[in-house]
Amino acid sequence: MREFASKVLMACAALCWLTGCRSKPAAPQRHVVVVAQLKVKPAPATPIAEEKVELGEESWDPAWDLIVEKSLPKEMVWSRRAARDVRPYCPRFGELSEADRRAFWAYFFQALAGAEAGLKPTTNVRHTEPEVAVVDSVTKRMVRSEGLLQLTYMDADRYGCDFDWDADRKLREHDPEKTILQPENNLTCGIRILDNQLFVLHRPLLSRLSYWSTLQPGTASYQVFRKQMANVPEVCRVNRAQEKLARAKTAMASAPIGTK
């Protein structure tokens, strides 16, 4: 009897091995989501960045391109609105690859930082113009514009930016450790501000109501920004020769028979 029972147990064990049964229920499977790395490429240097390199001065850090490119919301990369708004500077934006679209925005923010702060992360300015000489609601002091994109501590409340006044108030005025002066915090905050302008307020990229005077057409600051947009990525530009050839081919194809 024991021999028979032993054979039955062995047969069951073999059957379990073949069919994959287990002595206790299998643990639930975990779905691992693998996030593909963004395809990014460095942006060209703006005129002011080139000038600073020639003079041996601190210039735009290519690592800041990556900060911008990885922080862009999808609507700034893929939406028709974005393609329409950047057309004055990148006519082919809607035809570009994702990497090239992100590189354009990296160049855009480099140009903006050049016009706003001369590409110097520790820049801060206290404006005296009545329209901007107000009290910062966070610091309770007269507002200062700080960092690469000349932002304020009030932006932490308005746009959810990573600025910590309680920590920064203990540091020197131009201390690079200040949260508002750290390039990643400053640039990602600027992206949020522009995203709000374009997709929440539905205002164009160049607007008299823009957060930055450098994006307000008709101002002296805008002319500075415009000059910095001279070196946009080559893929942004329309190839005039190819465009002319394409038009000629279209005209030939549509011409009546006998006139070709």
Average pLDDT over residues 195-223: 97
Using the predicted structure, report yes or no on whether residue 216 has a pLDDT greater than 70: yes
Q: How confident is the model at residue 146 (pLDDT cuts 50, 70, 90)?
A: very high
pLDDT score for 134: 87
Token pair recorded at residue 12: 């069951």
Q: How far apart are CA 89 and CA 190, in angstroms?
A: 19
* Torsion sign over Cα 85, 89, 91, 96: negative
Q: How confident is the model at residue 254 (pLDDT cuts 50, 70, 90)?
A: low
Residue 153 dihedral angles phi and psi, to the nearest 5°: -65, -25
Q: How confident is the model at residue 86 (pLDDT cuts 50, 70, 90)?
A: very high
Spell out a b/e string for 210-242, using b for 16 or more CB atoms within 10 Å of the CB, else e: bbbbbbbeeeeebebbbebbebbbebbeeeeee
Average pLDDT over residues 163-173: 97
Q: How confident is the model at residue 250 (pLDDT cuts 50, 70, 90)?
A: low
Percent of the chain with pLDDT strictly greater than 90: 72
- H-only helix segments in the chain: 2-19, 47-54, 62-71, 74-78, 80-85, 98-117, 154-159, 165-168, 183-199, 220-228, 240-254
Q: How confident is the model at residue 131 (pLDDT cuts 50, 70, 90)?
A: low
Using the predicted structure, report yes or no on whether residue 77 has a pLDDT greater than 70: yes
Using the predicted structure, report yes or no on whether residue 19 has a pLDDT greater than 90: no
Token pair recorded at residue 33: 């989501």
In DSSP terms, which residues pair with 125 in a beta bridge? 145
In DSSP terms, which residues pair with 124 in a beta bridge? 146
